[in-house]
Amino acid sequence: MTSRKYVLIFLAAVLPLCALAIYAHLRLPDYRAHPLDLSALKPQEFILMNGMTRQQTGNVKIGHMENAPPPAVGVFGNHQFRYFAEDALKANGINKSFFNYWYANLALPDILDLLTYLEQIGKLPSELIIVQVTSPNNDNGRYIVERSQELPDDIVFLSELHKKETGDTSMFAEMQSLFQGAINNFRTTFSYSSFLIGIFYDEKRGRIISLDDCAEKHARASGVWSAIVNRLPQTMRPVLGMTIDNSMFCDSSYAELMMKDGALRSKDVRQVLKKNVNDLDPQKARISVLDASRIAGYLSNINDLAKRNGLEAAVVIPPVYETARFSVVDQVFTQAMKQAPGVAYIDDRKAHDVDAYFVNYDHPSSAYYKALMAELLKRGLVASH
């Protein structure tokens, strides 16, 4: 076979498959354009997150924040804070509306972009912004300073921060924005989850699951099909499971359920707590001492944004489950905090071995959030009424 013929047949295989991936991606419901109404959820009703792509999951949040009235207290962070729910406020007698905007793997520049965007559309929380920093000893610093590339392009590229970083008006900045946007679109389109979910998922099944109805449906969930589906790889399981019924997600140890306050419902099964899951190899550190001033800049900008809108802002550094360890990223972040002294920090890194504070290595439990809200109350950053 000649090289030319080989290349032609190779492309004849690749290009139609790429077209199919694009088609599958376009089939996915856009929860930003057609937002799910979280505030309409009844008790025991949840948004089913299984079988959503990361982009869709993010769009549930974006759609909500663009359309719903802003809460008094808003949490901005990433998956590390996904179990931060309204009960933490109620346990401290704080009677305020609350929403947890946790989103994918957002880092500090992403959060600043998001806040800037909310400021522009007039949807900032009305009293307190809680910003979660990815714990330095969690992922070697990557999701402190590097953009996650998971926010919608228009939010990133319209933000003041982005304009400042790229030189604002130049054609180069525009081109860079377009290029980055193209890469982001490629990434979301050519992903196995988008491909499989786009092809198989039947949106008519709906996204709301009521646990009140589960007792009845659970009988069906334990059928033969359910048994087969439950043996499939995790990616396929929700997709194929939902083609039949949502009832397989009645098993709350398996389902990913979003509550009306934006937090995820904590799973019933407690995971194994293991210390020092991240090996803190300095060779894998994704931030260096050069980044300290950059981090300080982000922290100060977030604080300034809150102040100019008459809001309180608290920056929380949550613990991860570990022994007391020296790490480069930890040290760099501490330097950054010193360079941004006006910010209200809740630095909980030292609570690294309080078992009750963790669901697993890097996800704090409701006990932690209750303690955190008590601290915010004590420091006067939020009032009870």
Partner 1 sequence: MLFNSIDFLLIFLPIVLLLYHLPVPAMRLPLIVVSSWVFYGVSGLVPLLFLIISIVWGWAMAHLLRHKKGMIYTSACIALPLIILFLFKYLDFSLTLFGAGEETRSALLFFISVTLPAGISFYTFQVVSYSIDTRDGIIKPERSFLKFAAYISFFAQLIAGPILRFSEISSQFDRISSQRWVPVDARRGLKYLSVGLLGKIAIADVLGILHRNHHHVDFYAIGTSFDALFVVLSYSLQIYFDFWSYSLMALGLGLLLGLTLPVNFKEPYLSLSPKEFWRRWHVTLSYWLRDYLYLRIGGHDAYVRNILIVFVICGLWHGAGTSFVIWGAYHAVLVIFYHFTRGTWDRMPVIVQTVLTFTLISLGWPLFYADVNEYLALMAKVFSMDFSGHGIYGLKHWLFPLSVSAFIFIFREEKWLYNATYRPVFDHPLMHGVFFFTAILFTQFSQTFMYFRF
Where along the sequence are the contacts to partner 1 (CB under 8 A)?
Answer: 1, 3-4, 6-7, 9-14, 17-18, 21, 182-183, 186-187, 190-192, 195, 271-272, 274, 277, 281-290, 326, 328-329, 331-332
The secondary element (H helix, E strand) that includes residue 306 is helix 292-308
| Nearer to partner 1 (CB atom), residue 91 or residue 277 | 277
Rounded distance between C-alpha atoms, residue 153 and residue 159, angstroms: 10
Residues 38, 64: contact at Cβ < 8 Å?
A: yes
What's the min distance (Å) between Cβ of 91 and partner 1? 30
| Nearer to partner 1 (CB atom), residue 215 or residue 272 | 272
| Nearer to partner 1 (CB atom), residue 126 or residue 276 | 276
* Residue among 320, 304, 17 at smallest CA distance from 164: 304
DSSP letter, residue 80? G
What's the min distance (Å) between Cβ of 344 and partner 1? 26
Rounded distance between C-alpha atoms, residue 73 and residue 311, angstroms: 10
Residues 316, 300: contact at Cβ < 8 Å?
A: no
**Which residue reads 């920090």 in tokens?**
345
3-class DSSP state for residue 316? strand
Report helix, strand and coil shares of the chain as percent, to nearest 5: 50, 10, 40
What's the min distance (Å) between Cβ of 291 and partner 1? 8
3-class DSSP state for residue 27? helix
What's the min distance (Å) between Cβ of 151 and partner 1? 16
What's the min distance (Å) between Cβ of 29 and partner 1? 20
| Nearer to partner 1 (CB atom), residue 289 or residue 356 | 289
The angle that helices 292-308 and 328-339 make with each other, rounded to 10 degrees, is 40
| Nearer to partner 1 (CB atom), residue 161 or residue 285 | 285
3-class DSSP state for residue 100? strand
What's the min distance (Å) between Cβ of 121 and partner 1? 30
What's the min distance (Å) between Cβ of 116 and partner 1? 25
| Nearer to partner 1 (CB atom), residue 224 or residue 272 | 272
Which residue(s) pair with 132 in the sheet? 316
